[in-house]
């Protein structure tokens, strides 16, 4: 059976789910929250979901977002500010359609917003926009980042000041169409025909100091099992699908991601930002809705996960962002989170 974007993960809490957390904002639909602490405050860079009237399909065409709104909060559980439109698709010269999950970074007085959007040939690329204010407005560069492709940029600055971008997503995110290094417009919609081969990998690349270009080769983020063997395509409970994130904890690098059609958030640990990363388990059970996408931050000595579900709408493409605590156990594992209580 082909599992497409139209298939929903079910809550195991029955017909009246009790959610672990409440939506952070109800006035607009938001998803894919990339959170960062800038100037002692939490800024959230989410997708802005809208109902564009496009029927659901396996390409994710119904995720037809057109702009970004940035949210901020002074404290967890405090009021959330919506800073209005930070970037509109009409002001991205090369963009075609579908502004998907963004991320942000800061360097030398400038904030950078990284965003995936389909170009005018319907190929996902990653763009960058700049602002002096973490909440925008952002001005987009006239071209996508050279050499970029697919979706879901997650930007991580290590303690030595080096910045890396993790990116990629299979199925609607088109990663499988880049398997040869060049885009195959007639390529498959999924990875399902390569069951016994090593799974497609998320990508990682260092950014140049200007934060606008890749510095060197794009590499595969290899996830291995406890025996050191790369995960395979048919390992749907564990293989990478989309929505990656990186955080460092006690000197170890935690690569976290969504398993897509099995709806888990999983983690793998490595000794450096490039990997390989050893698969360790899942740390969040499926939320209500098909997609699952997260970010992890440390704020005032505590760790938090930002995620989304479909509590407000009950519709796959109209999501709402949430936050809850994340706990590292004494042995370095992450405590499993159930998004229902």
Binding site for ligand FUB (CB under 6 A): 31-32, 47, 63, 100-101, 151-152, 169, 242-243, 291, 293
With respect to ligand FUB, which residue has the nearer C-beta, 278 or 310? 310
Dihedral angle of Cα 174, 176, 181, 184, to the nearest 10 degrees: -70
With respect to ligand FUB, which residue has the nearer C-beta, 49 or 278? 49
H-run or E-run covering 37: strand 29-38
CA distance 44 to 31: 10
CA distance 195 to 120: 32
With respect to ligand FUB, which residue has the nearer C-beta, 243 or 273? 243
Instruction: Name the minimum Å distance from CB 47 to ligand FUB.
Output: 4
H-run or E-run covering 212: none
Regarding beta strands 223-224 and 320-325, do their DSSP bridges make them parallel or antiparallel, or are they unpaired? unpaired
Q: Is 242 in the active site?
A: yes
With respect to ligand FUB, which residue has the nearer C-beta, 262 or 291? 291
With respect to ligand FUB, which residue has the nearer C-beta, 247 or 294? 294
Instruction: Name the minimum Å distance from CB 98 to ligand FUB.
Output: 8
CA distance 240 to 261: 10
Q: Which structure tokens are listed for 297?
A: 């931050």
Q: In what order do the strands lie in the sheet with 320-325?
A: 295-299, 302-309, 320-325
Catalytic residue among 49, 103, 242, 311: 242
Instruction: Name the minimum Å distance from CB 293 to ligand FUB.
Output: 4
Instruction: Name the minimum Å distance from CB 101 to ligand FUB.
Output: 4
CA distance 257 to 260: 9
**Which residue(s) pair with 204 in the sheet?**
166, 219
Instruction: Name the minimum Å distance from CB 97 to ligand FUB.
Output: 12
Catalytic residue among 32, 103, 152, 311: 32
Cβ neighbours of 319 (radius 10 Å): 31
Active site residues: 32, 242
């Amino acid at each position: 059976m082909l599992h497409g974007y139209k298939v929903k993960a079910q809550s195991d809490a029955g017909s009246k789910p009790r959610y672990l957390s409440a939506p952070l904002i109800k006035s607009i639909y938001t998803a894919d929250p990339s959170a960062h602490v800038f100037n002692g405050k939490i800024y959230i860079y989410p997708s802005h979901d809208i109902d564009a009237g496009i029927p659901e399909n396996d390409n994710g065409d119904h995720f037809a977002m057109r702009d970004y709104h940035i949210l901020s909060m002074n404290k967890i559980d405090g009021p959330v500010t919506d800073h209005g439109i930070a970037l509109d698709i009409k002001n991205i010269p090369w963009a075609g359609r579908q502004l998907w999950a963004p991320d942000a970074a800061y360097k030398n007085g400038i904030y950078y917003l990284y965003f995936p959007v389909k170009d005018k040939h319907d190929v996902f690329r990653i763009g960058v926009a700049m602002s002096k204010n973490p909440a925008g407005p952002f001005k987009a560069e006239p071209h996508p980042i050279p050499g970029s492709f697919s979706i879901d940029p997650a930007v991580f600055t290590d303690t030595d000041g080096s910045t890396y971008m993790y990116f990629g997503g299979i199925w609607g995110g088109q990663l499988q169409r880049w398997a040869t290094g060049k885009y195959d417009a007639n390529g498959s919609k999924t990875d399902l025909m390569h069951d016994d081969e090593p799974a497609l990998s998320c990508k990682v690349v260092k950014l140049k100091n200007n934060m606008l270009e890749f510095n060197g080769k794009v590499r595969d983020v290899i996830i291995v099992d406890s025996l050191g063997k790369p995960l395979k395509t048919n390992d749907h409970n564990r293989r990478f699908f989309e929505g990656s994130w990186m955080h460092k904890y006690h000197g170890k690098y935690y690569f976290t991601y969504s398993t897509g059609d099995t709806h888990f958030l999983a983690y793998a640990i490595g000794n450096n930002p490039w990997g390989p990363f050893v698969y360790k388990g899942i740390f969040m059970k499926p939320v209500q809705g098909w997609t699952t996408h997260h970010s992890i931050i440390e704020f005032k000595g505590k760790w938090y996960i930002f995620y989304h579900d479909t509590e407000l709408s009950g519709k796959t493409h109209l999501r709402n962002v949430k936050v809850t605590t994340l706990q590292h156990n004494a042995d370095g594992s992450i405590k499993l989170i159930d998004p229902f209580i």
